Amino acid sequence: MLDLRLVLLLAIAGIGVGSAKQHKPKPDWYTRNRNTVQAIYNLTVYPNNLVIFSGDIPPGLFNENATGRIDPVGDFFGFQDSVEYFFGLAPTPTGQAPNGVFSSADVVEFVSGCPQVAASTVYFTDRTLNADNTTGELVSMLKQVAFWHFDDDGAVLDYDAWIPNIPKQVNLTQPGFFTPQGMNITLNTLCAAQASTCVGANQVYTSPEQCYEILSQRDFGDWDEVWGDNVICRTLHVRLALIRPEVHCPHVGPTGGGKCVYADYVQAYFSNDTQVFGPSGPGTFTCDTYED
Protein backbone atom coordinates (compact mmCIF):
# COMPACT_ATOMS: atom_id res chain seq x y z
CA MET A 1 0.00 0.00 0.00
CA LEU A 2 2.86 2.33 0.85
CA ASP A 3 4.40 1.82 -2.55
CA LEU A 4 1.08 2.60 -4.23
CA ARG A 5 0.70 5.84 -2.25
CA LEU A 6 4.22 6.85 -3.17
CA VAL A 7 3.50 6.21 -6.82
CA LEU A 8 0.33 8.31 -6.64
CA LEU A 9 2.13 11.19 -4.92
CA LEU A 10 4.88 11.16 -7.51
CA ALA A 11 2.31 11.09 -10.30
CA ILE A 12 0.44 14.07 -8.84
CA ALA A 13 3.70 15.97 -8.39
CA GLY A 14 4.60 15.23 -11.99
CA ILE A 15 1.27 16.60 -13.21
CA GLY A 16 1.82 19.78 -11.21
CA VAL A 17 5.27 20.31 -12.63
CA GLY A 18 4.18 19.51 -16.16
CA SER A 19 1.23 21.91 -16.05
CA ALA A 20 3.19 24.77 -14.54
CA LYS A 21 3.61 27.77 -16.81
CA GLN A 22 6.97 27.66 -18.51
CA HIS A 23 8.62 31.06 -19.00
CA LYS A 24 11.10 31.32 -21.83
CA PRO A 25 13.56 34.18 -22.13
CA LYS A 26 12.27 36.90 -24.44
CA PRO A 27 14.12 36.95 -27.78
CA ASP A 28 15.93 40.19 -28.54
CA TRP A 29 13.55 40.88 -31.44
CA TYR A 30 10.54 40.63 -29.10
CA THR A 31 11.98 43.32 -26.82
CA ARG A 32 13.00 45.39 -29.84
CA ASN A 33 9.49 45.24 -31.35
CA ARG A 34 7.80 46.14 -28.07
CA ASN A 35 10.16 49.02 -27.45
CA THR A 36 9.52 50.35 -30.96
CA VAL A 37 5.75 50.26 -30.50
CA GLN A 38 5.94 51.92 -27.08
CA ALA A 39 8.34 54.57 -28.44
CA ILE A 40 5.88 55.39 -31.22
CA TYR A 41 3.04 55.88 -28.76
CA ASN A 42 5.24 57.88 -26.38
CA LEU A 43 5.40 60.51 -29.13
CA THR A 44 1.62 61.00 -28.93
CA VAL A 45 1.93 62.24 -25.34
CA TYR A 46 2.05 66.00 -24.83
CA PRO A 47 4.49 67.74 -25.19
CA ASN A 48 6.39 64.90 -26.92
CA ASN A 49 4.00 65.11 -29.88
CA LEU A 50 5.27 68.60 -30.74
CA VAL A 51 8.27 66.99 -32.46
CA ILE A 52 6.06 66.56 -35.52
CA PHE A 53 6.08 70.34 -35.97
CA SER A 54 9.85 70.63 -35.55
CA GLY A 55 10.63 67.62 -37.72
CA ASP A 56 12.68 65.93 -35.01
CA ILE A 57 11.21 62.43 -35.32
CA PRO A 58 13.67 59.92 -33.83
CA PRO A 59 15.16 57.53 -36.41
CA GLY A 60 14.34 53.83 -36.45
CA LEU A 61 10.61 53.99 -35.70
CA PHE A 62 9.14 54.02 -39.21
CA ASN A 63 10.68 52.78 -42.44
CA GLU A 64 10.94 55.44 -45.17
CA ASN A 65 8.38 53.45 -47.17
CA ALA A 66 5.99 52.78 -44.29
CA THR A 67 2.36 52.39 -45.33
CA GLY A 68 -0.76 51.57 -43.41
CA ARG A 69 -4.36 52.12 -42.49
CA ILE A 70 -5.86 53.70 -39.40
CA ASP A 71 -9.57 53.02 -39.16
CA PRO A 72 -11.60 55.26 -39.29
CA VAL A 73 -9.16 57.90 -40.58
CA GLY A 74 -7.68 56.57 -43.83
CA ASP A 75 -4.77 54.99 -45.70
CA PHE A 76 -1.28 56.48 -45.52
CA PHE A 77 1.73 56.06 -47.78
CA GLY A 78 5.34 56.83 -46.88
CA PHE A 79 7.22 58.00 -43.81
CA GLN A 80 5.93 61.57 -43.69
CA ASP A 81 2.30 60.55 -44.17
CA SER A 82 2.62 57.98 -41.40
CA VAL A 83 4.27 60.17 -38.77
CA GLU A 84 1.86 63.04 -39.45
CA TYR A 85 -1.18 60.92 -38.77
CA PHE A 86 0.29 59.22 -35.71
CA PHE A 87 1.71 62.34 -34.06
CA GLY A 88 0.17 65.36 -35.80
CA LEU A 89 -3.37 64.46 -34.75
CA ALA A 90 -2.51 63.82 -31.09
CA PRO A 91 -4.24 66.50 -29.00
CA THR A 92 -2.51 69.77 -28.20
CA PRO A 93 -3.79 72.45 -25.79
CA THR A 94 -6.72 74.48 -27.12
CA GLY A 95 -7.24 76.77 -24.14
CA GLN A 96 -10.89 75.72 -24.15
CA ALA A 97 -12.34 73.49 -21.43
CA PRO A 98 -11.49 70.75 -20.76
CA ASN A 99 -8.17 71.56 -22.54
CA GLY A 100 -7.19 67.91 -22.63
CA VAL A 101 -3.97 66.28 -23.83
CA PHE A 102 -2.65 62.74 -23.73
CA SER A 103 -0.81 62.41 -20.43
CA SER A 104 0.17 58.79 -21.08
CA ALA A 105 -0.03 56.11 -23.76
CA ASP A 106 0.40 52.66 -22.26
CA VAL A 107 0.84 49.48 -24.28
CA VAL A 108 -1.37 47.17 -22.20
CA GLU A 109 -1.43 44.18 -24.56
CA PHE A 110 1.41 43.00 -26.76
CA VAL A 111 2.30 39.85 -28.66
CA SER A 112 5.07 39.16 -31.14
CA GLY A 113 5.49 35.60 -32.38
CA CYS A 114 8.22 36.31 -34.91
CA PRO A 115 10.68 39.13 -35.66
CA GLN A 116 8.54 40.62 -38.44
CA VAL A 117 5.09 40.84 -36.83
CA ALA A 118 3.46 42.11 -33.63
CA ALA A 119 0.05 43.14 -32.33
CA SER A 120 -0.72 45.62 -29.58
CA THR A 121 -3.37 47.50 -27.67
CA VAL A 122 -2.64 50.93 -26.25
CA TYR A 123 -4.66 52.97 -23.76
CA PHE A 124 -4.38 56.75 -24.15
CA THR A 125 -5.20 58.75 -21.02
CA ASP A 126 -6.57 62.23 -21.69
CA ARG A 127 -6.19 64.73 -18.83
CA THR A 128 -6.67 68.45 -18.45
CA LEU A 129 -3.56 70.57 -18.93
CA ASN A 130 -3.06 73.08 -16.15
CA ALA A 131 -1.65 76.58 -16.55
CA ASP A 132 1.74 75.39 -15.26
CA ASN A 133 1.80 72.59 -17.90
CA THR A 134 1.13 69.86 -15.36
CA THR A 135 -1.73 67.46 -16.07
CA GLY A 136 -4.78 67.38 -13.86
CA GLU A 137 -8.17 65.68 -13.84
CA LEU A 138 -9.05 62.73 -16.03
CA VAL A 139 -11.08 63.75 -19.08
CA SER A 140 -11.38 60.49 -20.97
CA MET A 141 -9.53 57.48 -22.34
CA LEU A 142 -9.07 56.11 -25.85
CA LYS A 143 -7.96 52.74 -27.20
CA GLN A 144 -6.05 51.78 -30.33
CA VAL A 145 -5.58 48.19 -31.50
CA ALA A 146 -2.87 47.63 -34.11
CA PHE A 147 -0.99 45.04 -36.12
CA TRP A 148 2.61 45.85 -37.04
CA HIS A 149 5.01 44.55 -39.69
CA PHE A 150 8.69 45.39 -39.20
CA ASP A 151 11.61 45.56 -41.60
CA ASP A 152 14.88 43.70 -40.96
CA ASP A 153 16.16 46.59 -38.81
CA GLY A 154 13.05 46.69 -36.62
CA ALA A 155 11.42 49.81 -38.09
CA VAL A 156 7.69 49.70 -38.89
CA LEU A 157 7.10 48.91 -42.55
CA ASP A 158 3.31 48.32 -42.43
CA TYR A 159 0.56 48.91 -39.87
CA ASP A 160 -3.16 48.21 -39.61
CA ALA A 161 -4.78 50.04 -36.70
CA TRP A 162 -8.28 50.61 -35.36
CA ILE A 163 -9.58 53.23 -32.91
CA PRO A 164 -12.99 52.28 -31.45
CA ASN A 165 -15.52 54.50 -29.69
CA ILE A 166 -14.21 57.84 -30.94
CA PRO A 167 -17.67 59.52 -30.78
CA LYS A 168 -17.96 58.74 -27.06
CA GLN A 169 -14.49 60.09 -26.44
CA VAL A 170 -15.24 63.28 -28.40
CA ASN A 171 -18.39 63.84 -26.33
CA LEU A 172 -16.13 64.04 -23.26
CA THR A 173 -13.20 65.96 -24.73
CA GLN A 174 -15.34 68.37 -26.78
CA PRO A 175 -18.71 68.66 -25.01
CA GLY A 176 -21.52 69.79 -27.29
CA PHE A 177 -19.58 68.99 -30.46
CA PHE A 178 -22.63 67.62 -32.26
CA THR A 179 -25.11 70.27 -31.11
CA PRO A 180 -26.12 72.92 -33.68
CA GLN A 181 -24.06 75.47 -31.76
CA GLY A 182 -21.09 73.10 -31.57
CA MET A 183 -21.18 72.34 -35.29
CA ASN A 184 -21.36 76.06 -36.06
CA ILE A 185 -18.33 76.73 -33.85
CA THR A 186 -16.45 73.90 -35.58
CA LEU A 187 -17.20 75.32 -39.02
CA ASN A 188 -16.15 78.84 -38.05
CA THR A 189 -12.97 77.58 -36.38
CA LEU A 190 -12.10 75.43 -39.39
CA CYS A 191 -12.64 78.24 -41.86
CA ALA A 192 -10.63 80.72 -39.81
CA ALA A 193 -7.79 78.22 -39.41
CA GLN A 194 -7.55 77.45 -43.11
CA ALA A 195 -7.57 81.17 -43.93
CA SER A 196 -4.44 81.72 -41.83
CA THR A 197 -2.68 78.52 -42.92
CA CYS A 198 -3.64 77.97 -46.56
CA VAL A 199 -2.28 81.15 -48.10
CA GLY A 200 -0.53 82.12 -51.31
CA ALA A 201 -0.15 79.15 -53.64
CA ASN A 202 -1.92 76.99 -51.05
CA GLN A 203 -5.10 79.10 -50.87
CA VAL A 204 -8.25 77.00 -51.38
CA TYR A 205 -11.04 79.48 -50.51
CA THR A 206 -11.27 83.17 -51.32
CA SER A 207 -12.31 83.99 -47.75
CA PRO A 208 -13.49 82.41 -44.48
CA GLU A 209 -17.01 83.39 -45.53
CA GLN A 210 -16.78 81.42 -48.77
CA CYS A 211 -15.36 78.47 -46.84
CA TYR A 212 -18.32 78.59 -44.45
CA GLU A 213 -20.84 78.96 -47.27
CA ILE A 214 -19.51 75.92 -49.14
CA LEU A 215 -18.86 73.60 -46.20
CA SER A 216 -22.14 74.38 -44.44
CA GLN A 217 -23.79 72.65 -47.40
CA ARG A 218 -21.70 69.49 -46.97
CA ASP A 219 -22.31 66.56 -44.67
CA PHE A 220 -20.93 67.33 -41.22
CA GLY A 221 -19.58 63.80 -40.86
CA ASP A 222 -19.22 61.18 -38.15
CA TRP A 223 -16.21 60.18 -36.06
CA ASP A 224 -16.98 56.52 -36.78
CA GLU A 225 -16.25 57.18 -40.47
CA VAL A 226 -13.94 60.12 -41.02
CA TRP A 227 -13.32 59.32 -44.70
CA GLY A 228 -15.67 61.38 -46.81
CA ASP A 229 -16.57 64.74 -48.28
CA ASN A 230 -17.44 66.15 -44.88
CA VAL A 231 -16.51 68.74 -42.29
CA ILE A 232 -14.94 66.36 -39.76
CA CYS A 233 -12.45 65.08 -42.32
CA ARG A 234 -11.40 68.65 -43.04
CA THR A 235 -10.96 69.47 -39.33
CA LEU A 236 -8.23 66.82 -39.24
CA HIS A 237 -6.52 68.03 -42.38
CA VAL A 238 -6.51 71.69 -41.36
CA ARG A 239 -4.41 70.60 -38.35
CA LEU A 240 -2.04 68.72 -40.63
CA ALA A 241 -1.86 71.73 -42.96
CA LEU A 242 0.30 73.37 -40.28
CA ILE A 243 2.94 70.73 -41.09
CA ARG A 244 2.63 70.46 -44.88
CA PRO A 245 0.23 73.09 -46.26
CA GLU A 246 1.08 72.19 -49.86
CA VAL A 247 -0.24 68.66 -49.22
CA HIS A 248 -3.12 69.14 -46.79
CA CYS A 249 -4.68 72.46 -47.83
CA PRO A 250 -6.22 70.81 -50.93
CA HIS A 251 -7.80 68.25 -48.58
CA VAL A 252 -9.46 71.12 -46.70
CA GLY A 253 -10.64 72.75 -49.93
CA PRO A 254 -13.93 72.35 -51.81
CA THR A 255 -12.83 69.26 -53.77
CA GLY A 256 -11.35 67.40 -50.79
CA GLY A 257 -8.08 66.94 -52.69
CA GLY A 258 -8.48 63.17 -53.01
CA LYS A 259 -8.62 62.66 -49.22
CA CYS A 260 -11.86 64.24 -47.99
CA VAL A 261 -13.90 62.58 -50.70
CA TYR A 262 -16.47 59.83 -50.82
CA ALA A 263 -14.84 56.42 -50.31
CA ASP A 264 -16.60 53.24 -51.36
CA TYR A 265 -16.80 51.02 -48.27
CA VAL A 266 -15.71 47.73 -49.84
CA GLN A 267 -13.02 49.37 -51.95
CA ALA A 268 -11.62 51.42 -49.07
CA TYR A 269 -11.56 48.73 -46.41
CA PHE A 270 -11.04 45.51 -48.36
CA SER A 271 -10.37 45.68 -52.10
CA ASN A 272 -7.30 47.91 -51.84
CA ASP A 273 -5.55 45.86 -49.13
CA THR A 274 -2.80 44.86 -51.55
CA GLN A 275 -2.26 48.50 -52.50
CA VAL A 276 -1.81 49.44 -48.85
CA PHE A 277 -0.07 46.37 -47.40
CA GLY A 278 1.63 44.91 -50.47
CA PRO A 279 1.07 41.69 -52.45
CA SER A 280 0.20 39.66 -49.33
CA GLY A 281 -2.55 42.06 -48.28
CA PRO A 282 -3.55 41.42 -44.65
CA GLY A 283 -1.31 38.34 -44.75
CA THR A 284 1.52 40.82 -44.26
CA PHE A 285 0.72 40.63 -40.54
CA THR A 286 0.99 36.82 -40.32
CA CYS A 287 4.13 35.08 -39.08
CA ASP A 288 5.51 32.52 -41.53
CA THR A 289 6.63 30.27 -38.67
CA TYR A 290 4.25 27.48 -39.61
CA GLU A 291 3.16 26.04 -42.92
CA ASP A 292 -0.55 26.00 -43.78
> Residue 166: which CATH number?
3.10.450.50
DSSP string over 26-77: PPHHHHHHHHHHHHHHHTTSTTGGGHHHHT-PPTTSEEEEEEEEEETTEEEE
* 220 inside domain: yes
* 46 inside domain: yes
Q: Are residues 181 and 171 in the same domain?
A: no
Q: Are residues 90 and 158 in the same domain?
A: yes
Distance CA 142, CA 245 (A): 28
For the full predicted model, state whether its pTM sits above 0.95: no
Q: Are residues 46 and 135 in the same domain?
A: yes
How many domains, in total, are found in the chain?
2
Burial class for 40, CB neighbours closer than 10 Å (0-12, 13-18, 19+):
buried
Among 17-21, 40-44, 140-144, name the one with the lowest average pLDDT: 17-21
Q: Are residues 170 and 245 in the same domain?
A: no
Is the CB of residue 251 less than 8 Å from the CB of residue 244? Answer: no
Q: Are residues 110 and 152 in the same domain?
A: yes
Per-residue model confidence as pLDDT tens digits over 223-242 = 998 989 999 999 999 999 99
Boundaries of domain holding 135? 25-175+264-292
Q: Are residues 36 and 123 in the same domain?
A: yes
* 164 inside domain: yes
Residue 231: CA atoms inside 13 Å, Cβ hemisphere, count? 24
Q: Are residues 232 and 171 in the same domain?
A: no
* 77 inside domain: yes
Per-residue model confidence as pLDDT tens digits over 34-89 = 999 999 999 999 999 999 998 899 999 999 999 999 999 999 999 999 999 999 99
140: confidence class by pLDDT, cuts 50, 70, 90: very high
Q: Are residues 145 and 273 in the same domain?
A: yes
* 7 inside domain: no
Q: Are residues 252 and 207 in the same domain?
A: yes
pLDDT at 251: 98
Q: Are residues 247 and 291 in the same domain?
A: no
* 117 inside domain: yes
Q: Are residues 230 and 127 in the same domain?
A: no
pLDDT at 3 over 80: no
Per-residue model confidence as pLDDT tens digits over 144-196 = 999 999 999 999 999 999 999 999 999 999 999 999 999 999 999 999 999 99
Q: Are residues 73 and 49 in the same domain?
A: yes
* 4 inside domain: no
* 186 inside domain: yes
pLDDT at 198: 99
